[in-house]
Amino acid sequence: MIAADTVHEIEIARSRFRCALVRVGDVDAATAVIEAIRREHWTATHHCTALRIGSDGGRTQRSNDDGEPAGTAGVPMLEVLSRREITDVVAVVSRWFGGTKLGAGGLVRAYGQAVSESLDAAGTLRRVRHRQLLVAVGHEEAGRLENALRTDGHRVADVHHGPDVTITVDVPEDGTDAFAHWLAERTAGTIEAVDAGPRDLYLP
């Protein structure tokens, strides 16, 4: 995933290539982004697109050359996203023709470069599978335990005050045993975490 929505422009042989990268959660959202850019930048000669949404188990990938020679725009854009393993994003490259034909190879390089440089500008996040662990503790101990969790670098996602205080901690899947050991040492074995299921986090 990209770290932030980004717009980046390059110029090649007097043609302007404006790449917009936008985070999206589904195809409908991606379509809305594409249509909004078409309306805003209606003077562009082409609006070529590529999107990747979802994980390996249910990923949607699409590209569109929008009038450029087949395979010279949307496909290289999508290849850049795939090679960089970026998902949940739509890329729209709007081109204003500058009067000089680039040829098929030149178009492939230009559209790919526009997306690649935009990704560099946006920054990327990686998807890391975590387990959400619930730690229930009495009110009198909650503050000290929460402080210890944060001090020792554990990711506190939520603190809920009820009859007890329930602290939700996001722990990397490969770190659950180490966390259980830390918690046992910190509480003299009086508290155990309850696994509430998986959660994907996007991290730098």
Letter for the amino acid at 13? A
What per-residue confidence (pLDDT) applies to 3? 95
Q: pLDDT-derived band of residue 127, with 50, 70 and 90 as boundaries?
A: confident
Say if residues 123 and 4 touch (Cβ distance below 8 Å). yes
Q: Is pLDDT at 58 greater than 90 in this prediction?
A: no
pLDDT digits (tens, 9 = 90+) for 175-191: 999 999 999 999 999 99
In order of their start, the domains of the chain are: 6-122 (3.30.230.30), 126-203 (3.30.70.240)
Q: In sequence order, what are the residues at sequence separation of 6 or more whose Cβ sits closer than 8 angstroms to the Cβ of residue 115?
A: 19, 21, 50, 76, 77, 80, 81, 91, 93
For 25-36, how does the pLDDT look when each residue is reduced to its tens digit (9 = 90+)? 999 999 999 999
Cα distance between residue 188 and residue 5, in whole Å: 46
* pLDDT grade for 102, boundaries at 50, 70 and 90: very high
pLDDT at 202: 87
pLDDT digit string, tens, across residues 149-184: 999 999 999 999 999 999 999 999 999 999 999 999
Q: How many CB atoms lie within 10 A of CB 121?
A: 15
Is pLDDT of 57 > 80? no
Q: pLDDT value at position 123? A: 94
Average pLDDT, rounded, for the chain = 96
Tokens of 90: 């739509």
Residue-level pLDDT at 182: 98
Q: What is the pLDDT of residue 131?
A: 97
